[in-house]
């Protein structure tokens, strides 16, 4: 971990009023969750036993065509969260928010850990695996785990298919979350942090690229390389939890 980079980032943060934090699967790695596209991740094992890519199994088209197959792999994602909890990195981000006029966390994670930690200004751009809703009627519920669900689950009100409130491959991002993100981007941010993400989606990389072009402070906390690694002002090759705990400690110290 680069102590110098963290100290310099803390100085830039102290001068900021509006901060945007972007998190990916690496944010939850210290909670014991897989990084999906990282070593040993869910998307690293090649085709599923059914002979389809995991991205196809977890697609909107597969949910319509073969709900049982799609739900099989949705359950794998949910199962990884069982018995897990937000880590010190999630908690550090919650406490950091008090230092700023606006502190927004944009997460790709569907584990719900930022919400459980109490993050006050949170955009779950890919949804939350614990929220379920009917594909036909207005039924919705919150499920801590899928262990007791009949798969694929049927709506208790109309018997139609129930699905998690997550964005599957090939589906559009949710309009309310997109509108909130557009508002944040329109207002602008003084510092943009990218944490634990490969930044392969344009809407995840763009805020960092835009801030870097404008000469604003940007940082990446990630052991591996990403699409924005060469753009950021501060490149911190370390895990999220301990780095954020150290950063919070610096912010909490008297100036």
pLDDT in tens, 219-255: 999 999 999 999 999 999 999 999 999 999 999 998 6
- Please check whether residues 212 and 180 belong to one and the same domain: yes
Report pLDDT for 2: 63
| Structural domain includes residue 183 | yes
Report pLDDT for 33: 86
Residues 6 or more apart whose Cβ sits within 8 Å of residue 86: 31, 113, 114, 116, 117
Catalytic residues: 126
- Please check whether residues 46 and 122 belong to one and the same domain: no
Q: What is the mean pLDDT of residues 121-137?
A: 97
- Please check whether residues 114 and 189 belong to one and the same domain: yes
Share of the chain above pLDDT 90, in %: 86
- Please check whether residues 65 and 102 belong to one and the same domain: no
* Residue ranges making up the domain that contains 204: 3-32+86-126+171-252
| Structural domain includes residue 151 | no
Q: Where are the beta strands (DSSP E) in the chain?
A: 18-23, 102-107, 122-124, 127-134, 140-142, 162-166, 191-195, 218-221, 234-236
Digit-coded pLDDT (tens) for 13-25: 999 999 999 999 9
Count how many domains the chain has: 2
Digit-coded pLDDT (tens) for 146-171: 998 999 999 999 999 999 999 999 99
- Please check whether residues 119 and 239 belong to one and the same domain: yes
How many CB atoms sit inside 10 A of residue 84's CB? 14
Across 36-50, 70-84, 169-183, least confident range? 36-50
Q: What is the mean pLDDT of residues 69-77?
A: 94
Q: What is the mean pLDDT of residues 194-204?
A: 95
- Tell me the C-alpha distance between 241 and 247, whole Å: 10
């Amino acid at each position: 971990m680069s102590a110098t980079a963290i100290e310099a980032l803390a100085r830039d943060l102290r001068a900021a009023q509006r901060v945007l934090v972007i998190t990916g699967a690496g944010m939850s790695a210290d909670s014991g969750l897989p990084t999906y596209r990282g070593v040993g991740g869910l998307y690293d094992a090649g085709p599923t036993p059914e002979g389809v890519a995991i991205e196809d199994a977890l697609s909107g088209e597969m949910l319509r065509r073969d709900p049982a197959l799609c739900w099989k792999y949705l359950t794998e994602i949910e199962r990884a969260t069982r018995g897990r909890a937000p880590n010190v990195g999630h908690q550090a981000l919650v406490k950091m928010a008090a230092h700023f006029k606006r502190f927004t966390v944009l997460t790709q994670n569907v584990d719900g850990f930022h919400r459980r930690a109490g993050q006050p200004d949170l955009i779950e751009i890919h949804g939350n695996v614990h929220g379920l809703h009917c594909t036909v009627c207005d039924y919705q519920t919150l499920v801590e785990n899928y262990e007791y669900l009949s798969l694929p689950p049927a709506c208790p009100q109309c018997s139609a298919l129930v699905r998690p409130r997550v964005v599957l491959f090939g589906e559009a991002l949710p309009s309310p979350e997109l509108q909130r993100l557009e508002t944040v981007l329109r207002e602008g941010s003084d510092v943009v942090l990218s944490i634990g993400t490969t930044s392969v989606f344009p809407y995840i990389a763009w805020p960092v690229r835009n801030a870097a072009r404008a000469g604003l402070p940007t940082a990446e906390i990630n052991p591996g390389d990403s699409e924005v690694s060469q753009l950021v002002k501060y490149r911190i090759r370390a895990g999220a939890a301990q780095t954020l705990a150290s950063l919070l400690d610096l912010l909490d110290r008297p100036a």
